[in-house]
Structure 1
Amino acid sequence: MAHVMAASELVAATIKRPLQNDDDNGSADEKPKLARRREADPAAALAAARHEFGEHGGVNMSIEASATFTVMEPDTMRRLFAGELGPERGDLYIYSRHFNPTVLALGRQMAALEGTEAAYCTASGMSAISSVLMQLVGAGGHVVASRCLYGGTHALLSRFLPRASGVRATFVDVDDEAAVRAAVRHGETRVVYVETMSNPTLAVADIPMLARVAHDAGAKLVVDNTFTPMVVSPARLGADVVVHSVSKFISGGADIIAGAICGPASLVNAMMDLQEGALMLLGPTMNAKVAFELSERLPHLPLRMQEHSRRAAEYASRMRRLGLRVAYPGLPDHPHHARLLAMANPGYGAGGMLCVDMGTEDRANRLMHHLQNTTRFGLMAVSLGYYETLMSCSGSSTSSEMPPEDRARAGISPGLVRMSVGYNGTLEQRWAQFERALALMQQQHPDRDAAAAKYCKV
């Protein structure tokens, strides 16, 4: 038990570090630290976070690539495991699955971005989601979840966790407060789980309402904010935990797999417990070299998200004028447009994701074929946040884990094309490519397309 407490103390000390100035000797007033933590604009919060310099004074931090760390005296290791020494007590480390200086630095940036007390970075988005759910729910616990989720998360809740640990999940329309409250089982429900912007339908969750419902039931609200970094800050709206697939917009390069858990220090402490912590024992450890890469990209995230959003908003408006059935929360006629405006951080738009419903999978596939192979508008690929536009037919790709009846209930049409709008090339160049591909697609099979065309028009 002494080792467990030592681990918790070590985490707590580490978590406090982002709120300190480099010259903070422990006697400074707490108010400036709290002000930085609660900075409303995520870009300002990132800028206020502690900057890590390199070992020899470099403007970029050094990469600590060691898996294990040496000590100079035998008794030092005992004191490390006892919690008497550590990252904040002597700048000492034990093992990189436990803590790594480079990964900790990225965690400080993620905590600043999301306005949380702490953050822990993981090897993938799914490892962040699964670790949080296993830690908070426990064997036999209950989760109330949105019926429209990323297919992998839906499969985790509907298949894997019930089989592995007896977790039960109830999927509901989270836009219906009465339905969410009715689904909650008092004394059993541990987590209400949603995505800020649902994958792929782009419904916007009412985070303040869902936080009230969860907290009334003694549960935690966990929000996947992968689609909307910078745009929405769920923790500032009442969410207890924010998870990310950092592989997406935050990375921006489609070359890294990573995740993050942002929340209270007490949660990270529990997840790093030597005997019961999901992160410590399952070991979804982020590589220090990956953490360094990501820490160099985070300062550019505000600019990238602004351009993703600008392009997506313009394309969505033009697609609508062409008569296409478009889903984009930045359009005034989107059912959750006002909700997003009320929750969003000013200046970052409505995000870089849009959907166009072509009515049938055949029409969706033909459109994507021309968009990639004929006009070079974008790429047929899953994932999002890349500088090129990425397209996929969600029903047969990222939502394919869901049974057909669940996809129908979630509003995922067979012809729904999800687009992660990139910013490469000029806007007019890319729009001309889209219009040409649409015209080519419509020239093929005009008779067969007639009925579907009526569906995909507004």
Structure 2
Amino acid sequence: MAHVLATAQPLALLKRPPPPKASFVDGNDKGPKARHGESESDPAVGLAVARHEFGEHGGVNMSIEASATFTVMEPEILRRLFTGELGPERDQLYIYSRHFNPTVLALGRQMAALEGTEAAYCTASGMSAISSVLMQLVGAGGHVVASRCLYGGTHALLSQFLPRTSGVHTTFVDMDDEVAVRSAMKPGETRVVFVETMSNPTLAVADIPMLARLACEAGAKLVVDNTFTPVVVSPARLGADVVVHSMSKFISGCADIIAGAICGPASLVKAMMDLQDGALMLLGPTMNAKVASELAGRLPHLPLRMQEHSRRAAEFATRMRLLGLQVRYPGLPDHPHHDRLSAMGNPGYGAGGMLCVDMGTEERANSLMYHLQNTTQFGLMAVSLGYYQTLMSCSGNSTSSEMAPDDRARAGISPGLIRMSIGYNGTLDQRWAQFERAVTLMKQETPSASASKLI
């Protein structure tokens, strides 16, 4: 640690100069866009100018700080750390890794640069990021207005868990209906408006500027889950107060890490890390430093990966439509929110790597997925997304199964809806030939033969 090694003067000559001190936690930093200009609406530019962390011995990659606890040179320093007079960003002093860890903090700076926010804090999972933010901002007995189409786990948190444990109640509405959203607001009670940039799994695109305006008018915070569209859309630059991520998905890219992130004002991160009253500090959804190091090495090429995910998804969606399949993809001109995404999106990153194919019935969806995985090797039947191989699942009986059947119907999730996260390995023509063959085989099957494969 810097405050320990400072006593060893000869070693200092071998070390690179310390990086400039930032002040995310203290709220003085105004985020990458304010520091470096409007060009940083491109997330790749924001990442490129973010503070680079060198390794302990001058390595081009930052070191992994694996310590759970940290020492200080004077007893008085420990007291001042616990009162908040001293801290990690301003003074490069740490208490305990559940509070702040140098490696995890460095990843947080990268996430803040990516999303154009003042600060970010990285957590053990996407759901821990969402639940911690809601518990911090809403409070016992508070009210949330949320999209009726959300990831099943988020829907269950809002409709089941938080009402039971905290008395939080949620009104689920069509977020495309401005009148309905405004009517759902409860003066003095509504604390959060929660939406996904691109809904899971129906791929509706939220009108973030409109929702930000309505939330502000009601004295609420707009919280946006940007898991489906990192780099493609920057919600904070469109007015969102807080942006959350499951970093397990596109940001990781390898389906081997569970992680989350909260991006927003420095004041929020500081409040959530308060030793006495902070949701993150007291609930303890701590990211492991080794995980943070892994993710920090993957973030720089996220923009390139998202471009290719988007390119493949757009091409597949176009070809699937020509086969006569019912396809949902915001990059298609006839998608109801195509123009909205084009206006909100960051130029050059397309419409994302997610698409849906509606096969009408669960039986037909299962038959197609069976052949796509087991006969033609087009992709894998698995939940999650953002992998370099295509992942597919029937949302109604998997990632949206927590929702009641009526809620799924209102959200537009049909029994035969296949959600696909389009990968980029192999050649595009190779993968398309595999897809086309699977469709042909599915059409040739009798219903009984299709069902027998699933027993």
TM-score, with length taken from structure 1: 0.91
Aligned-residue offset at 1:34: 2.3
Aligned to 2:53: 52
Aligned to 2:25: 15
SS at match of 1:110: helix
SS at match of 2:46: helix
Amino acid corresponding to residue 294 of structure 1 in structure 2: L
RMSD of equivalent CA atoms: 2.0
Aligned-residue offset at 1:71: 1.8
Amino acid corresponding to residue 244 of structure 1 in structure 2: H
Aligned to 2:181: 180
Aligned to 1:138: 139
Aligned-residue offset at 1:13: 3.6
Aligned to 2:4: none
Q: Identical aligned pairs, as a percentage?
A: 82
* Residues 239-388 of structure 1 mapped to structure 2, 5 A cutoff: 239-388=240-389
For residues 64 and 160 of structure 2, the distance between their equivalents in structure 1, rounded to whole angstroms, comes to 39
Q: After superposition, give the CA deviation of every residue in 1:20-73 in whole Å (9 maximum; x if it has no partner).
A: 9xxxxxxxxx99962359821000000010000000000000000000011223
* Residues 180-219 of structure 1 mapped to structure 2, 5 A cutoff: 180-219=181-220
Aligned to 1:6: none
Q: Is the 8 A contact 1:14 1:87 kept in 2?
A: no
Amino acid corresponding to residue 53 of structure 2 in structure 1: E
Q: After superposition, give the CA deviation of every residue in 1:403-439 in whole Å (9 maximum; x if it has no partner).
A: 0000000000000000000001000000000000000
For residues 16 and 112 of structure 1, the distance between their equivalents in structure 2, rounded to whole angstroms, comes to 17
Aligned-residue offset at 1:276: 1.2
Q: 1:139 to 1:177 in 2, by over 3 A?
A: same
Q: After superposition, give the CA deviation of every residue in 1:242-268 in whole Å (9 maximum; x if it has no partner).
A: 000000000001000000000001111
Aligned to 1:23: none
Aligned to 2:159: 158
Q: Is the 8 A contact 2:22 2:90 kept in 1?
A: no
Aligned to 1:453: none
Q: 1:284 to 1:12 in 2, by over 3 A?
A: farther
SS at match of 1:39: helix
Q: After superposition, give the CA deviation of every residue in 1:290-331 in whole Å (9 maximum; x if it has no partner).
A: 000000000010000000000000000000011100000000
* Residues 385-424 of structure 1 mapped to structure 2, 5 A cutoff: 385-424=386-425
Aligned-residue offset at 1:79: 2.6
Aligned to 1:62: 63
The unaligned stretches of length 5 or more in structure 1 are 1-10, 21-29, 450-458
TM-score, with length taken from structure 2: 0.91
Aligned to 1:79: 80
Q: Is the 8 A contact 2:27 2:266 kept in 1?
A: no
Q: Is the 8 A contact 1:36 1:48 kept in 2?
A: no
Q: After superposition, give the CA deviation of every residue in 1:153-210 in whole Å (9 maximum; x if it has no partner).
A: 0000000000000000000000000000011111111011000000000000000001
Amino acid corresponding to residue 183 of structure 2 in structure 1: A
For residues 243 and 254 of structure 2, the distance between their equivalents in structure 1, rounded to whole angstroms, comes to 22
For residues 375 and 339 of structure 1, the distance between their equivalents in structure 2, rounded to whole angstroms, comes to 36
Amino acid corresponding to residue 349 of structure 2 in structure 1: Y
Q: How many pairs align?
A: 430
Q: 1:446 to 1:90 in 2, by over 3 A?
A: closer
Q: Is the 8 A contact 2:65 2:101 kept in 1?
A: yes
Amino acid corresponding to residue 15 of structure 1 in structure 2: V
Q: After superposition, give the CA deviation of every residue in 1:123-144 in whole Å (9 maximum; x if it has no partner).
A: 0000000000001000000000
Q: After superposition, give the CA deviation of every residue in 1:344-397 in whole Å (9 maximum; x if it has no partner).
A: 000000000000000000000000000000000000000000000000000000
Deviates more, 1:84-93 or 1:363-372: 84-93
For residues 285 and 18 of structure 1, the distance between their equivalents in structure 2, rounded to whole angstroms, comes to 25
Amino acid corresponding to residue 332 of structure 2 in structure 1: L
Aligned-residue offset at 1:74: 2.3
SS at match of 1:171: strand
Aligned to 2:231: 230
